[in-house]
Structure 1
Amino acid sequence: MQGSTGTSIINPAVMGKLAEYCQEFVSAPPFPHVVIEDFFAPDFAQALLDTFPAFERGNAVAESGELGGKSTVDKVRSLGAAYAQLDDAIKSPEFLQAVGELTGIDGLIYDPWYLGGGTHENRDGVALDPHVDFNYHPSERWHRRLNLIVYLNPNWGEDWGGNLELFRDPHVDSRPSRSVSPVFNRCVIFETSEVSWHAFDTIRVPPGHEGTTRRSVALYFYTKDRPAEQTASRHTTYYVKRQLPDHFHEGRTLSRSDVAEIRHLLDIRDSHIRQLYAENTALRKAQDRGLTGHLLYLAKRAYVRFRR
């Protein structure tokens, strides 16, 4: 298997430990996952880094015309030979079988559209709130089963932030159960489910490293079926705002930085509430338009009058 086209991009040392990684995956708290060092063959990982797309090439431009803090590219084959090789590999039966052996999940399906996946790049100051991902493919009847992320950040400092965080329950836990630094050629594979809460903390690039960004390749895999006890109604990505850090406790005297931190957290939560209200308003407007909206209006009117 190691010499096949599909798995030649994987480090041979990783291929020799699939059963061992599977044991780690299925038993890891807070939900099934595994962290693998030097996942890709060294030359291949370097080729991905060398031809990683410029930030401006991705979808980072906001409606205002300004660049935001996150850029993604999902047209992977357009990024050159190394990324075309990646695309060829991950859709091959050999690669899908290897990842299936590594996780214990059979029948994996590759997403040819890389919806939500592809190259990801985040700038200094960016963070990602705890969330569970959308659970079905947006256009197919496939269950989302795995996220496979490989980081492409040489010389990344442990205290630079951008750490992948895995939570048991972010509604009550202020700290993640596990935090993983996004260092070069480190791979994290985790099962996507209704409890696979994950995030990354704020990127804080130190002076002297201005312009350094957090880079990764994100690959998502699906299956046609999944166990009934793990199946839920279709939903989009569901976010939870972070809890107050543990250092805020009864009797603490707030410093100026404490107040700034609390205000920042409240601003984030208020922004999220405004976004939800805006989405609700947009849905109601769409609902009120057209024949369906008119019929719904008549039905509501009849119901209210009938109740009297």
Structure 2
Amino acid sequence: MSAATLEEGPLQGPSFFLSRTALRALALEHRGAYGTARPHPHVVIDGFLGEPLASGLAGVFPGADDAHWKRRDHVEQAARLGQLQRKAFEGVHGALRHLLSEFSGMSFIDFLETLTGVQGLIPDPHFRGAGLHLTLRGGHLALHADFNRDRFRALSRRLTVLYYLNPGWEAAWGGALELWNADLSRCEARIAPVLDRLVVMAHGDTHWHGHPAALECPEGRGRAAVAAYFYTAEASPDAPEAHSALWAPVRR
């Protein structure tokens, strides 16, 4: 079942919206597997948007020559392009920008909460550290555990979402997302970055993951991913007691 519905609009042509009904069905179908997955809670959902829409999004994903990419070449990560959010995704095709918006919307938040059991999820509209990523031939991302706080908003990181847009991706090219156990003694899951595959995984300081081997895709190809991070707020002892609306007395 595709999680998107297509609608024709007179202003900008075809657009899509995530279906709350379809997403709830997906969440209920996969939440048992999410909770029992090893080495830490995660789920892999194929055919998330449907091949026609996913292929269209892949076709407008920014290429390596996009001037707004920021390239990272370090020991931990090499030939990795990202940070388009620094320019507010200027020049990125509207369909991809709309997908990012949908990932921050009510239907997708409800899906994540039903799937994972984590309530009160808060998206990051600034996509700090997230957004669009493109890894080129020879690139890699070393095993790591993600940052745990949104320091700008004093929020705790809870979930990572990855959506892959790589048509015709071949296993020999590498690039599989590896999930390792807490003591880094073994890889317990490998997830190929194939077209229209959604990955949801819990955050944790021992939730090691990455794609550490150098990509062997052909020149001109890259590993394209859309990433979104989700947070929760922590209770504060200084917070005022919650109340409903306060109505002013009616003057007569």
- Scaled by the length of structure 1, the TM-score of the pair is 0.63
- The counterpart of 1:198, out of the listed 203, 209, 227, is 209
Partner of 1:248: none
Partner of 1:69: 79
* Paired residue secondary structure (1:95): helix
Partner of 1:42: 51
* Paired residue secondary structure (2:70): coil
Q: Distance in 2 between matches of 1:90 and 1:144?
A: 16
Q: 1:44 to 1:225 in 2, by over 3 A?
A: farther
Aligned residue identity for 1:108: L
Structure 1 gaps of 5+ residues are 63-67, 227-308
Q: 1:3 to 1:56 in 2, by over 3 A?
A: closer
Q: Distance in 2 between matches of 1:168 and 1:47?
A: 36
State the Cα distance separating 1:41 from its structure 2 match. Answer: 3.6
Q: What is the correspondence of 1:1-308 to structure 2 with a 5 Å cutoff?
A: 8-9=17-18, 15-57=24-66, 58-60=69-71, 69-72=79-82, 73-74=84-85, 75-76=88-89, 78-169=91-182, 171-173=183-185, 175-205=186-216, 209-225=218-234
Choose between structure 1 and 2: higher strand proportion: 2
* Length, aligned pairs only: 217
Residue 4 of structure 2 contacts residue 18 of structure 2 at CA under 8 Å; is this kept in 1?
A: no
Residue 80 of structure 2 contacts residue 140 of structure 2 at CA under 8 Å; is this kept in 1?
A: no
Q: Sequence identity, in percent?
A: 30
Q: Distance in 2 between matches of 1:2 and 1:126?
A: 32
State the Cα distance separating 1:102 from its structure 2 match. Answer: 1.5
Aligned residue identity for 2:225: S
Q: Distance in 1 between matches of 2:35 and 2:134?
A: 29
Q: Distance in 2 between matches of 1:88 and 1:202?
A: 32
Q: 1:2 to 1:214 in 2, by over 3 A?
A: closer
Q: 1:84 to 1:129 in 2, by over 3 A?
A: closer
Choose between structure 1 and 2: higher helix proportion: 1
Larger radius of gyration: 1
Deviations 1:89-124 (A, max 9, x none): 122222211121111111111101100001101111
Aligned residue identity for 1:71: L
Partner of 1:259: none
Q: Distance in 2 between matches of 1:138 and 1:49?
A: 32
Q: Distance in 1 between matches of 2:4 and 2:141?
A: 36
Query: Which of structures 1 and 2 has the larger relative contact order (alpha carbons within 8 angstroms, sep 6+)?
Result: 2
Q: Distance in 2 between matches of 1:223 and 1:128?
A: 26
Structure 2 gaps of 5+ residues are 8-15, 236-252
* Paired residue secondary structure (1:114): coil
- Structure 1 residues 71-80 or 142-151, which shifts more? 71-80
Q: Distance in 2 between matches of 1:159 and 1:12?
A: 37
- Scaled by the length of structure 2, the TM-score of the pair is 0.77
Aligned residue identity for 2:179: L
Q: Distance in 1 between matches of 2:216 and 2:34?
A: 31
State the Cα distance separating 1:178 from its structure 2 match. Answer: 0.7
Partner of 1:232: none
